[in-house]
Structure 1
């Protein structure tokens, strides 16, 4: 696989806290890369730097061989990088279909709050995408009436509507009930792999990481403390001690 995103020497500090202290990371095209680590380790900061919401004090980031530091978030989206947030960014007064139609239109530079809702081609593409996410039954439901799992899927459907090559997701399962968590991630994985979207996701649920990640990067004090397959990383005693919090007898056995 070829390298799609490359970060070199990223540094940024907030007061005395080093959120990135020389981060080097390559993301390979087509992979699902999980980022794990304790709170405050700099995981979301990395996503914010990659998507233009923060500018590092040192280092560089390239996407498909092109430098992207200093570009606006909207320009970065136009190059093929999308993101979802820990708290879904939905228009709560609009339905699921309307939210996705607005995202489809924004991809083409249409920012009017009404035009996308009146043009059939935006609505048609939105319906198709909603069906792929298994949300057709609630397409007409207002966003503020959705449960957390549906809100997460709708938010990521809006990101996929931008037709990204790379999608960065900040805790896609946070707030989702345990009983529905795996179904949400299975849907995300299926849609993203079918669309050939490379994914980087911050996650705290090690079962999700073990089942869906191709590689795992462990963040610690602004550095990458470990990087490798789930089978190797999740069985590392230091990762178990500092991230997972326990060291079970026989280690952690990541699902295939």
Structure 2
């Protein structure tokens, strides 16, 4: 790791009387995989939304690669090199997986139309190469609305990677994915991102995924970071397991 890539300082945001961010300070190091865990409503997705321009904090600062990005639009932040995927995949369901990926490649170059990927073979070629890295060539010509949840998740993240981000923020990349598929999907995803030298921040409820793939873990609780450290340190802390994650000592699954 070679330094701070994303830096959040003093982030504050409240919805009515609920503090979704209550003084968040977090540095994401270049090259790391950082997992964000904690109960629902703790402010995890709020942090991702603030970091990608979908929400503006009421206080604090956010910088990326040393440059202030607070107040920029989501599209402008993408152009700076920050990508994201959503808990619910954002695919064009009436188009094939290849067409979705080609559309993402086209949009990176400033084109955004449902037809443009069909017009330039080099975009489709790059898209097919990307799908090969994600193990999706076998379903390249399948419509997105016919995919299972695991394939939909991978296709959605492939579209984000097509934009060539330096940092990718993922909101529950394994939610809805069958248990039998989960580890293989995350293994593929981690391999692609590490090979492309993409730093990753991911919200996750599956502690087995966190323990296997995260370099560091940040525990969210009531809009604050309650703990930050290595997976071994965090996942074996009895207080964190019981009071924040919702795991009884000796258990292995987080509360939703």
SS in 1 for 2:20: strand
Counterpart Cα distance in 2 of 1:11 and 1:164: 26
> 4+ residue runs of structure 1 moved beyond 2 angstroms?
none
Corresponding position of 2:249: 247
For structure 1, which segment, 231-240 or 159-168, has the greater mean C-alpha deviation from structure 2 after superposition?
231-240
Return the TM-score normalized by structure 1: 0.96
1:164 aligns with 2:165: yes
Counterpart Cα distance in 2 of 1:185 and 1:84: 14
User: 1:14-62 CA deviation, whole Å, 9 max, x = no partner?
Assistant: 0110000000000000000000000000000000000000000000000
1:153 aligns with 2:154: yes
Counterpart Cα distance in 1 of 2:167 and 2:230: 20
For structure 1, which segment, 114-123 or 210-219, has the greater mean C-alpha deviation from structure 2 after superposition?
114-123
SS in 2 for 1:5: strand
User: What is the deviation of 1:210?
Assistant: 0.1
User: What is the deviation of 1:143?
Assistant: 0.2
1:58 aligns with 2:55: no
User: What is the deviation of 1:239?
Assistant: 1.2
Counterpart Cα distance in 1 of 2:211 and 2:159: 26
Give unpaired runs (5+ residues) of structure 1: none
User: What is the deviation of 1:117?
Assistant: 1.8
Q: How does 1:1-150 map to 2 (within 5 A)?
A: 1-150=2-151
Return the TM-score normalized by structure 2: 0.96
User: What is the deviation of 1:166?
Assistant: 0.2
User: What is the deviation of 1:84?
Assistant: 0.2
Superposition CA RMSD, Å: 0.8
Counterpart Cα distance in 2 of 1:117 and 1:238: 54
8 Å Cα contact 1:206-1:244 kept in structure 2: no
1:214 aligns with 2:215: yes
User: 1:84-117 CA deviation, whole Å, 9 max, x = no partner?
Assistant: 0000000000000000000000001101221122
User: What is the deviation of 1:136?
Assistant: 0.5
Give unpaired runs (5+ residues) of structure 2: none
Q: How many residues align?
A: 250
Counterpart Cα distance in 2 of 1:246 and 1:180: 26
User: What is the deviation of 1:244?
Assistant: 3.8
Counterpart Cα distance in 2 of 1:224 and 1:127: 40
SS in 2 for 1:52: coil
